[in-house]
Every structure is written in C-alpha cells, then in structure tokens.
Amino acid sequence: MLLTLTLTLTLTRVITTALLILLPLSAVAQSVTTLPEPVARALAQAGIPESAIGVYVHEIGAAEPVLAIGAERSLNPASSMKLVTTYAGLEMLGPAYTWNTDMLSDGAIAQDVLNGNLYLKGSGDPKLTLENFWLLLRNLRARGVREIRGDLVLDRRLFAEEVFDPAGFDDQPTRPYNTGPSALLVNFKAVTLQFIPDAATRSVRITVEPPLPQVQIVNNLKFADGGCGDWLGRIKVDSQGNADGARLTFNGTYSADCGERMRSYSVLGHRQYIGALFTYLWREMGGVFTGQVRDGATPAQARPLATARSPSMSEVVRDVNKYSNNVMARQLFLTLGINGAAPTSTGSAANGVKQWLALKGLAVPELVLENGSGLSRIERISARNLGAILLNAWASPVMPELMASLPVAAVDGTMRRRLKSAEIAGQAHIKTGSLSGVRSIAGYVLDAQGNRAVVVFMVNHANAFNAQAAQDAMLGWVHNRDSSNCCGRLEQRRGRK
C-alpha cells in the first residue's frame, strides 16, 4: 500500500512543482501581515494577545498566503487535529474502507447447540452501535444457534494494551468522550439515561438503554418548578464501580420545564460491557448462555459464523468531523498504525501518519500526535502546516469526502449555531476545536467572488473561551474581502478576466 502511495504522491508533487514554476511573477502577491480590524478588535475585547494566536489564510491556487500571523507557532489545535487523522484515513485506507467484527467458533452446531467457544474478533470498528451489535447476534441466532456451551472469548489483540486512565484528561471518567480505544468497541461502551419529569406525581423518572443489570441507578432527584437553565449543573452524579458492575447515584433537582433530556455515561470496562450486553441481548432473543466472558486469541481453525461490517470510511470521517467524535477519531487513528502482525499502538499510528505526510512532501517537524483526536494537552501543529495539509487535500482525489465531512457554518455539526445571521452562513466548511485554554477553527471558506480559501485560526490562551467572536470575524472577513487584486487567483493565471 505504501509503495503505491509513494509513486502516486511523488508524481503529484512533480506536477504541482512544475505548475508553480510556470506561474508568472505577477501572480504572486504579498501576504497581509496585520490582522483585519474587526478581528483585532474582537481579540482585544477578549483579552487575547496576538502572541497567543496562529492565523493562516491561503486562497486555493495562489502561490502565497493572504494572511499569515504567528503561523509558525507550534500550538495545540484541539479537535482541529481530527482533520489530519481523517484526511490520512481517507488517503491511506480509502473512502470505501470498512472494519469487520467477526464471530467464529471452534465447535460444532448440533440441534441448535453450539458445542464450543464463541469468539468475537475485533478490528477496531469505530461505530459498532447497539443496533449493529444486535444484528450481529441476530445473524448468529438465525444460523440455528440457541444455546452456547462454551465461553464468549473477546479477541481484542489488534490494539496493543496501553495504559489508559479515563479520568486522566479532565477528571470526568464517566463521560463517553473519555472512553479508551479498543479493538472491540461496542456502542461506545455507553449507557444512555433519559430523564422524564412527571408533573402529576411531581417526580422524575430515569430510564436506561440498554438496561444492563450490571448498571444500577439510584434516583434521588427532586422534582422542581421554574426554568430549566443549567439542568446538568443542578444534578450531582456519584459513580462507583467494581468487578461486578457499577452504580450511578443522582442527587439534586430537575425542573419540569426541561422536559425529557438524555445523557450518556460510561461506567463499565470493555470486557464487562460487552459481556453484559451480549448476555442481555442473547437472552432477550431466547438464547441460552452460561459460560464465562474472557479475553483470548481466536484459534486458526475457528470457522466464521457471522460478521458485522462498519460504515465506510467516508461515513466514519463524517461522524468524526461533523460531531467531533473523539472516541471514533481514536479508533481511526490506531487503525492507521496497523502494519503486519504486531498490535497497533499510538506510537505506530503516529509514525504511520508522519510517514504518509513525508511521502506527500509535507514537512511538519512540530507535529505531535498523542491520539489523533485533539483531546490532548500535548498535541501540536502550526497554523501554516495545518493550512498546507488542507491545501494539499484540496488537490487530492478524496477532497470531496473530506470536505463533505466538515461542519457547515450555520447549518450542521458543531457549526450549526454559529453565524446564522451572517452572509457567510452556508459558505464555510469548518472544523472547530475546543479545550480549556484552546479554541481553533480550520477549513474552507467560499468568498463573495466565488473563490475558496483555506482558513486556520488557533488560540492558546487562558482567555481562549472568549475567542469565538474573533474567529467568526475572521471567517466573515475572508468571505467578504475584495480579492479582485489579491492573491494571484487561478483565474488570473489562466488569463481570465
């Protein structure tokens, strides 16, 4: 795969270099070295100094950027790092790539009894949902298997066992975005709770899906009147877990004005969760299973019984970027490190991405990859090099899939509530990033003249949570700027008026 990629990318670089050499000097414009006034004003009001930002704006087809300020700084991009991971996934593996989760057995099926172990072998599927897992079991049931006289063996060896603390990032271990990666990730290892207020009885009911016996809910919520407001802030959640299961205790108040709300929690380990879900669903289907749930290797002689196939890579990157799904990004990132028989690790994944970038002629010496999702305190990239990757992606065969995966300003994803009343609404495909002390945007903007530009704007500062106005102002400036005498547009190079 890498040899083919090397030849393709080398040819692409040669052609691109030749085209740039042939450009007339008149097509090369000087970059703007000062921030547009609306952006500078918004940054000043937010208390963010220019020394804490990295900005890069480059019109597609131009030889030089329109704007580059602090563009060489190595900054934390937060979730904008997902652009690197998803672009790498689309090119290295292809838009049609899928992950398979296989059920196999080393025993015989006789009179609806499987006399042997059932092996569940994972390949790192980022989106093996509750529904797809149910269908996998249903397919096994349809093959005539009712009773399993053996163990459920989880083959999770494709991903190396690495130390992972779900509380390590922000001390929120029950939040699904802190779920660690696994070659067998099922339903994001989450249970979803629905809070249902009942005005007649002045009580609040909590339902759980899936209703696993291993997850106990203690509901001490008080029914309250008044506005909804910060409903989560009025609920105190205590989580306790052990080898047998977990307990979630809810105290506080819940307002009737909130209506029905949903919240997901991750409280079981991977083996606990899969075992609990498998046992619950299998029995619900009328099946019998009394064996153990354990980790292990699939024997070479095991024969396949059923397979669950993931959505395609193009669909997966859409979920990753539109909704900034950290767990799926981590799964995809680790997949990029698969090379031979050795289990993939964060180190091999990072090396795989860096080798891919090098083959494309993209030198990114400051790049630091921890998990590829941006949910990290140490990941780093510069605005210029993230912009260069986006420029490179524009000329890639997978550009349509990557661009379609980005949130559209005022329309969907993490940008759906931004810029609704602005002219730029619907004209920008932007990946956002947000951490404590970090705010970023990166993507493509279509300007009023029909020209498209790459835009990257990263802020690393204690006041970064106030940066949205400045970043929105930048998007507006790029969209509305007069580019008729700027930036060496491709149309001018072709002699078009």
Is residue 470 within 8 Å of 48, Cβ to Cβ? Answer: yes
Which CATH number does the domain 100-163+270-310 belong to among 3.20.20.70, 3.50.80.20, 3.90.600.10, 3.30.413.10?
Answer: 3.50.80.20
Query: What's residue 410's pLDDT?
Result: 97
Query: What is the pLDDT confidence band of residue 490, given thresholds at 50, 70 and 90?
Result: very low
Q: 449 pLDDT exceeds 70?
A: yes
Structure confidence at residue 351 (pLDDT): 97
User: What are the counts of helices (DSSP H) followed by strands (DSSP E) for the chain?
Assistant: 12, 22
Mean pLDDT of 12-21: 42
pLDDT at 484: 52
Average pLDDT over every residue of 282-307: 97
Return the ∠ at Cα 418 (arms to 414 and 422), rounded to 5°: 145
Q: What's the pLDDT band for 483 if we cut at 50, 70, 90?
A: low
Q: Which residues contact 139 (CB under 8 A, 6 or more apart)?
A: 306, 307
Give CA torsion, residues 390, 394, 400, 404, to 10 deg: 30
Average pLDDT over residues 349-373: 98
Above pLDDT 70, what percent of the chain?
91
What would the mean pLDDT of 78-102 be, rounded to a whole number? 98
Rounded to two decimals, the pTM is 0.90
Average pLDDT, the chain: 91
Average of per-residue pLDDT across 294-305: 97
Side-chain-side CA neighbours of residue 288 (13 Å): 9
Mean pLDDT confidence for 101-121: 97
2-96+314-493: CATH number: 3.40.710.10
Rounded to an integer, what distance in angstroms lies between the CA atom of residue 347 and that of residue 86? 17
Query: Is residue 348 a contact partner of residue 342, using CB atoms and an 8 Å limit?
Result: yes
Q: How confident is the model at residue 33 (pLDDT cuts 50, 70, 90)?
A: confident
At residue 10, the pLDDT reads: 47
Report the b/e string of 234-250 with b at 16+ CB within 10 A.
Answer: bbeeeeebeeebbebeb
Average pLDDT (375-395) is: 98
Q: What is the spatial distance between Cα 443 and Cα 432, in angstroms, rounded to a whole number? A: 9
Confidence band, pLDDT 50/70/90 cuts, at residue 342 = confident
| 377 contacts 390 by C-beta, under 8 angstroms | no
What's the average model confidence in pLDDT over 317-336?
Answer: 98
**Do 99 and 85 meet the contact criterion of CB atoms below 8 Å apart?**
no
| Distant-in-sequence, close-in-space partners of 309: CB < 8 Å, separation ≥ 6 | 98, 99, 100
Distance, in Å, from the CA atom of 433 to the CA atom of 403, rounded to the nearest integer, reads 17
At 119 the three-state DSSP class reads: strand
Alpha helices in 66-223 (DSSP H): 82-93, 130-142
Q: Is residue 27 scored above 90 in pLDDT?
A: no
Give the model's pLDDT for residue 494.
Answer: 33
Q: How far apart are CA 9 and CA 380, in angstroms?
A: 25
**Is a pLDDT exceeding 70 seen at residue 216?**
yes
pLDDT score of 8 more than 90:
no
In the chain, % of residues over pLDDT 90? 88
Residues in a beta bridge with 322: none
Model confidence band, residue 312 (pLDDT cutoffs 50, 70, 90): very high
- Given a contact cutoff of 8 angstroms between Cβ atoms, the answer to whether 402 and 431 are in contact is no
Provide the residue ranges of all domains of the chain, joining segments of one domain with +. Answer: 2-96+314-493, 100-163+270-310, 191-265
Cβ density class 446-474: b for 16+ within 10 Å, e for less: bbeeebbbbbbbbbbbeebebbbebbbbb
Query: Distance (Å, rounded) from C-alpha 83 to C-alpha 432?
Result: 10
pLDDT score of 243: 84
User: Is pLDDT of 297 > 80?
Assistant: yes
The rounded Cα 488 to chain-centroid distance in angstroms is: 35
> Whose structure tokens read 């290892």?
189
